[in-house]
Amino acid sequence: MSMKNPALSTSLIKEKKWSFDIQTILFSLLKKVSLPILVFVVFVGGWELFCRATGIAHYILPAPSDIYLAAVANSENLLGAMFVTISSALMGFIMSVVLGISGAVLLASSKVIEKALYPYVVLLQTIPIIAIAPIIVIWFGAGTNAIVIIAFLIGFFPMLSNTLVGLNSTDSNLRNLFSLYNASKFQTMWRLRLPAALPYIVAGLKISCTLATIGVIAGEYIAGIGGGRGGLGYAITVAASNIQTAYLFACGLAASVLGIGFFLIINYISKLLLSSWHESEMDQQ
Amino acid sequence: MTVKTKNVLVNMSGLSKIFPNGTTAVKDVNLEIKEGEFICFVGPSGCGKSTIFKMITGLEDHTNGELEIFGHSPDEARKQNEVAFVFQDHTLLPWKNVRDNVALPLQLKGVSKKERYAEAERVLELVGLAHTTTMLPRELSGGMKMRVSIARALVTRPRLLLMDEPFGALDEITRQSLQEELLNIWQKDSSMTVLFITHNVFEAVYLSSKVAVMTPGPGKISSNIEVPYAYPRGDQFRTTPEFGELVGDVSKVLDH
Ligand SMILES: Nc1ncnc2c1ncn2[C@@H]1O[C@H](COP(=O)(O)OP(=O)(O)O)[C@@H](O)[C@H]1O
Ligand SMILES: [Mg+2]
């Protein structure tokens, strides 16, 4: 029976395994996280004790409880700033994904174009973003536009170069197969090279989403708010100039929460995208 | 004894290939292949077997001599979709299920989904994998993947089927059952011609109506050995004295 219908029998096995595994999964999860949590508790507790024992000034080193209180007191500002930052980061990220992938497809579809343009793409990448940020502000105005473009520029290159490497590393037997069946250039790109590059594209997504968050916060530093609502980077500059150290810490924490959250979401989407890939195929890449 | 028509399908005369780096891969190959034949190319690695196949499919140009397939140039013949190819590696797309993989050549030709699925199911039936249509390649064993790969080659109803060491990576038991299936499929379609590369002398003699024995330095066909034994052959052929003699003949040419 198992020979006749392997699909059925494997799905049965999977189900069984799943219900059996749920306990072990919970247990191993607990084992995995319990140590880091312990470290966290010890660290935060030690910090709190240190502040109280030494009576160090709040504006130099706020205690964890001060940071928490500052976050709660400014929660509306903080959440608003987080929202502004994540919106800009998302826009910059989407731009870098769309333009990075299309740029890579363009470069990969012709050896001549690739040879002519790629050196300049690399060259552009080596210019530090801080150096060209003022030009971006002059061109696009202070505020959201400039911020999104800075985030885009930072995330663009990893997206482009990863996709390009992926597009150029298609298995030569598979390319022969497509030539043999008279596939057009477009068919080879769309049905073979792009899907085959997916693991590389996904790696690019993970890098770019992290960079986009960093890019936005840096951009908000440089480009200000230009009349719009400020994001975390702006909140940080304000808190710093007012020496609201506890709130400054809260903003920093919020920024890392954003970055991690964004990464986890992209990581999850990546897993879905690659669901039909086998690990062994991933390893080959 | 199967009766097969005798049109000349592939004609090679004085065929040579010198790669740009100066390697002479094959030199002065003469061979006439008739419709319905099953020819095995056997020889040590590096003697130019794959190069001959690449020239037949037009993936590589030949540098000297003549090569005609159905009276056309390799490129024209390929564009007519009557040549199919099976590689040693199964070359299935990991992100497509079995049916979509098999239907790929038709999809590239622009055949409608309904039609190409019907054809895919027909050839999957032929290789005994009708129950795997929606499975992904990773869920299949090595032998099953090779069957899917063969099904994909058959889906365009080719007149000429080229197979480059297709069973080289399989275990002996799977290999023998696939040999059997391949012969069955070939016999059902009397107009299909199969060219089969192997470095296994036993496999060559068992399968083919004619063995083209190749030797290196530079690559050439040293001898054509007819295998005058009726199909269907069945496992008992492997134990007959004729089989042993033919294997001996082929090996002798290879040892020179
Ligand atoms: N693209 C190539 N460029 C240069 N030499 C090649 C190329 N492809 C194959 N050759 C050489 O041609 C000879 C025949 O190769 P091949 O046809 O692959 O042999 P076989 O399939 O019989 O093992 C070998 O010496 C190989 O190194
Ligand atoms: Mg070879």
Are B108 and A187 within 8 A, CB to CB?
yes
- pTM score over 0.95: no
Model confidence at B21, pLDDT cuts 50, 70, 90, reads very high
Question: Tell me, what amino acid is at B131?
Answer: H
Evaluate whether B47 touches B219 at the Cβ level (below 8 Å). Answer: yes
How far is B233 from A284, CA to CA, in rounded Å? Answer: 41
> What is the model's pLDDT at position A277?
66
Burial class (CB in 10 A: 0-12, 13-18, 19+), B187: middle
Position A254 scores a pLDDT of 94
Contact B209, B227 (CB under 8 A): yes
> What is the whole-number distance in angstroms between the Cα of residue B51 and the centre of ligand 1?
6
Question: pLDDT tens across B183-224, in order?
Answer: 999 998 878 999 999 999 999 999 999 999 999 988 999 999
Question: Could you report the per-residue pLDDT of A111-122, keeping only the tens digit for each?
Answer: 899 899 988 888
- Select from A10, A180, A192 the Cβ nearest to the Cβ of B78: A180
Contact flag B78-A192 (C-beta cutoff 8 Å): no
Pairing, β B220-226 against β B8-18 = unpaired
CATH class for the region spanning A64-282: mainly alpha
Q: What is the complex's ipTM, to 2 decimals? A: 0.89
CATH superfamily of B8-82+158-255: P-loop containing nucleotide triphosphate hydrolases (3.40.50.300)
| Res. B36: pLDDT tops 80 | yes
Residue nearest to atom 7 of ligand 1 (CA): B19
pLDDT at A121: 85
From B155, which residue of chain A is nearest by alpha-carbon distance? A181
Please tell me the residue having the least CA distance from ligand 1 atom 1.
B19
Q: How many CB pairs under 8 A join A and B?
A: 65
Model confidence at A2, in pLDDT bands (50, 70, 90)?
very low
Q: Is B217 in the pocket of ligand 1 (CB under 6 A)?
A: no
Q: Is B50 in the pocket of ligand 1 (CB under 6 A)?
A: yes
Pairing of strands B160-164, B83-86: parallel
A180 and B85: CB-CB below 8 Å? yes
Residue pair A70/A62 in contact by the 8 Å Cβ criterion: yes
A192: closest CA of chain B, how far (Å): 8
Q: A76 vs A82, A88, A231, A235, B78, CA distance in Å?
A: 10, 19, 12, 12, 68
Q: Which residue has the tokens 């399908």?
A: B9
| In chain B, beta strands by DSSP E | 8-18, 24-34, 38-42, 64-69, 83-86, 160-164, 193-198, 210-215, 220-226
Contacts of B81 in chain A (CB under 8 A): 181-182
Mutate which of B17, B18, B23 for ligand 1? The one with the most ligand atoms within 8 Å of its CB, which is: B23
A178: which chain B residues are within 8 Å (Cβ-Cβ)? Answer: 108
Mean pLDDT of chain B: 92
- Per-residue pLDDT tens over the stretch B109-157: 999 999 999 999 999 999 999 999 999 998 999 999 999 999 999 999 9
Q: What is the mean pLDDT of residues A128-144?
A: 86
pLDDT digit string (tens) for A157-199?
999 999 999 999 999 999 999 999 999 999 999 999 999 999 9
pLDDT of residue A226: 64
Domain ranges of chain A: 1-55, 64-282
pLDDT number for residue A130: 82
Residue A17 has pLDDT above 70, yes or no: no
| Residue A12 pLDDT > 80 | no
